[in-house]
């Protein structure tokens, strides 16, 4: 299963997580959400767990997708600027959505899911300095080989239409249960020009 969150707010958003993607296989969360940790935590944890940098999406210029106005409130709610209806055939399921934020940065994400793997195409533009794509996996034995990230059974690769300024794995946090946080590994891919990032996630058949 793959879950893609896109801006369709009926009530105030609690996380700046537009176009975050979760991936599950046989009950295992392969690409994971960060959780909430605590609604009464100190500000740094509220900002982290609710912010763009803790989700499987693209962050522009080190800022959240929406400005934080208070402990539980974001301003300038995002709106969907592009939507491709869900499509199915014998081989795959496909869906796409996109938004443009208040600073004119734009992100479109196309997701294709098949029995063999997941493909994600991110088109980004309108940012000032940089865009960072992040993928979060459980804190297990993954190793980075160039732009190929693998644990032996599963492989995640990222390619770009423009030069990649940085590709590295960092340690971060997730919260599966309230008031509990555990480490996760995060692949960060950074570009400094408008372009397209293509991610392929493959698992053993």
Structurally, at CATH architecture level, domain 2-203 sits in Distorted Sandwich (2.70)
Residue 145 has pLDDT above 60, yes or no: yes
DSSP 153: S
DSSP string, 34-91: -----TTS-HHHHHHHHSGGGSSSEEETTS-SS-EEETTEESS---EEEEEEEEE-SS
Residue 198 has pLDDT above 70, yes or no: yes
Residue 68 has pLDDT above 70, yes or no: yes
Residue-wise burial string across 75-101, b where 16 or more C-beta atoms lie within 10 A, e elsewhere: eeebeeebeeeeeeeeebebbbbbbbb
The pLDDT of residue 34 is 72
- Between 137 and 33, the more confident residue is 137
The pLDDT of residue 40 is 54
Residue 70: CB atoms within 10 Å: 7
pTM, full prediction: 0.91
The pLDDT of residue 74 is 83
Let me know how long the chain is: 205
Residue 180 has pLDDT above 90, yes or no: no
Backbone angles phi, psi at 50, to 5 degrees: -95, -5
The pLDDT of residue 111 is 98
The pLDDT of residue 134 is 97
- Give percent of the chain above pLDDT 90: 65
Residue 117 has pLDDT above 80, yes or no: yes
Query: Measuring CA to CA, which residue among 32, 20, 38 is closest to residue 140?
Result: 32
Residue reference for tokens 């707010």: 9
Half-sphere exposure of 80 (CA within 13 A, CB side): 15
pLDDT tier at 177, thresholds 50, 70, 90: low
pLDDT tier at 120, thresholds 50, 70, 90: very high
Q: What angle do CA 94, 109, 131 make, to 5 degrees?
A: 160
- Decide: 158 and 145 in contact? Cβ < 8 Å: no
Q: Give the pLDDT mean for 74-80.
A: 89
Query: Measuring CA to CA, which residue among 163, 60, 152, 166 is closest to residue 104?
Result: 60
């Amino acid at each position: 299963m793959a879950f893609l969150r896109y801006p369709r707010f009926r009530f105030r958003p609690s996380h700046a997580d537009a176009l975050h993607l979760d991936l599950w296989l046989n009950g295992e969360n392969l690409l994971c959400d960060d959780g909430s940790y605590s609604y009464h935590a100190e500000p740094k944890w509220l900002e982290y767990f609710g912010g763009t940098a803790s989700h499987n999406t693209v962050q522009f210029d080190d800022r959240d997708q929406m400005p934080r106005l208070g402990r539980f409130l974001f301003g300038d709610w995002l709106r969907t600027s592009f939507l491709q209806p869900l499509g199915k055939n014998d081989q795959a399921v496909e869906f796409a959505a996109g938004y443009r934020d208040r600073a004119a940065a734009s992100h479109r994400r196309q997701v294709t899911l098949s029995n063999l793997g997941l493909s994600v195409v991110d088109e980004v533009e309108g940012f000032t300095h940089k865009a960072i794509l992040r993928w979060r996996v459980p804190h297990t034995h993954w190793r980075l080989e160039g732009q190929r990230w693998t644990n032996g059974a599963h492989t995640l690769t990222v390619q770009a239409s423009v030069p990649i300024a940085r590709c590295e794995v960092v340690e971060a946090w997730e919260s599966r249960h309230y008031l509990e946080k555990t480490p996760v590994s995060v692949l960060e891919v950074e570009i400094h020009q408008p372009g397209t990032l293509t991610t392929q996630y493959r698992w053993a058949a």
